[in-house]
Structure 1
């Protein structure tokens, strides 16, 4: 199970770790921390030293009720970050976390290797054609509505069945545009109640029916800290527990704020899983 990043085949059979690096003032956990180039490069260097396989750059918070950001402002946040990281760490594989095709295009032209779209093309009809033209892997996430409306749309008769149907349609659409490398993300916390998130995690292995790489992004989310009655800053231990469970369910990529702990989690799981 491989994806092509800048002509380099990345084997996802062994789980990879994607570090989250938000250049936003209002992300739920790390908002405003990496607004300066010095802080950005320090964090990127730390993640790479700790073993990150990818770094995911985001310039528009997708938390419920996040402030609107114009396309030009989003581009103005992410492109300098991408350029700076690649100047200092040229081998880094960066993904761009955006649902806008113009931002994706600008980011890939600046050196990003993957497009990570929370809306799977639903919020920008030009996205899939743009990704196809750019010839980069495409991470498509499950979400209903948009970040402002999604939590009012968390109704499912059978959540896994609906996700499989959703991704089957979306993957077929992506293939019709000529997108070769598709990664699916079930979208924990997006249009899902706390209980639905845990039901989804319990049954995540069923998504392997789609025979596509699976990205799991649970890091420090409210499904952890609200259930435990703690703050996001206190939810690293819970994140590690759920990441371990995600590995037993077939996760190919863990998308995390804390790279060192996720890499250790993967290494230990691999030792236990040896035949």
Structure 2
């Protein structure tokens, strides 16, 4: 795979797992399951044995989701980050937010990077904040906002239009003073895309290596998997989620953002052993 400088101390010479930890009451897949600090910490402990990055979010960005006030988003995420650090877990933490004030509070609490589903479009203070703190940021392609994005899923050429958008956002990040070594790109599977758009992006994921930054891929449990497999319940989409994660790994994705860290990690180890060889200890 195409290698890049280390991210949060992690070498990007193989796909890394980012474990999803939603501390929200309404996320599409696991809303409410980790809404208390105790439950979130327990899940973080488990994921830290399997994932190399923990991605903590306090605002659902599922299609149709309403915006969460800044104070509430901080109240959901910061105590969890503080608890993880107080428990001695050193796993890098990503704060999944589109708001600079939330990102700043999370970084102060011990987070290591920012994952912005709007690539800095939503809050004009986000990119300057990231630049000032010198931390990595993931810039994801999306359109409009979560509440209305599916109504804007219109492209003449989804692969090239997403590429152009990410290229523009990477330039905006660099103009704000963010070191290119700290930039990650994500084509935004499911964010203002139809089923066919998602499949095209996965099929041509390797196109995005030309951006010159690491690629993050997140399709875990998403609706298009259910549409293809008939799994209406997001929790029943494990097999499909693993399939698309391995497809992304084959295309050279550097970070796989997933809910099911144990199962995806096991599948990924076998995938890499088959592709690259395996030596017994």
Scaled by the length of structure 2, the TM-score of the pair is 0.94
Q: Judge which range, 72-81 or 31-40, deviates more.
A: 31-40
- SS of residue paired to 2:239: helix
- SS of residue paired to 2:139: strand
The 1-side partners of 2:264 and 2:34 are apart by: 21
- SS of residue paired to 1:90: coil
Q: Give the deviation of 1:4 after TM superposition.
A: 4.5
- SS of residue paired to 1:116: strand
Asked if structure 1 preserves the Cα contact closer than 8 Å seen for 2:215 and 2:253, the reply is: yes
Q: How many residues align?
A: 271
The 2-side partners of 1:46 and 1:172 are apart by: 37
Q: How does 1:1-275 map to 2 (within 5 A)?
A: 1-5=4-8, 9-49=9-49, 51-180=50-179, 181-230=182-231, 231-274=233-276
The 1-side partners of 2:118 and 2:82 are apart by: 25
Asked if structure 1 preserves the Cα contact closer than 8 Å seen for 2:45 and 2:89, the reply is: no
Q: Give the deviation of 1:271 after TM superposition.
A: 1.3
Q: Unaligned 5+ residue runs, structure 1?
A: none
Q: Judge which range, 158-167 or 214-223, deviates more.
A: 158-167
Scaled by the length of structure 1, the TM-score of the pair is 0.96
Cα deviations by residue, 1:6-37 (Å, 9 ceiling, x for unpaired): xxx32112110000001100000110011222
Cα deviations by residue, 1:160-205 (Å, 9 ceiling, x for unpaired): 1112211111111111122121011110000100111111111111
What is the CA RMSD across the aligned residues, in angstroms? 1.2
Q: Unaligned 5+ residue runs, structure 2?
A: none
- SS of residue paired to 1:188: coil
Asked if structure 1 preserves the Cα contact closer than 8 Å seen for 2:63 and 2:146, the reply is: yes
Asked if structure 1 preserves the Cα contact closer than 8 Å seen for 2:66 and 2:147, the reply is: no
Asked if structure 2 preserves the Cα contact closer than 8 Å seen for 1:16 and 1:252, the reply is: yes
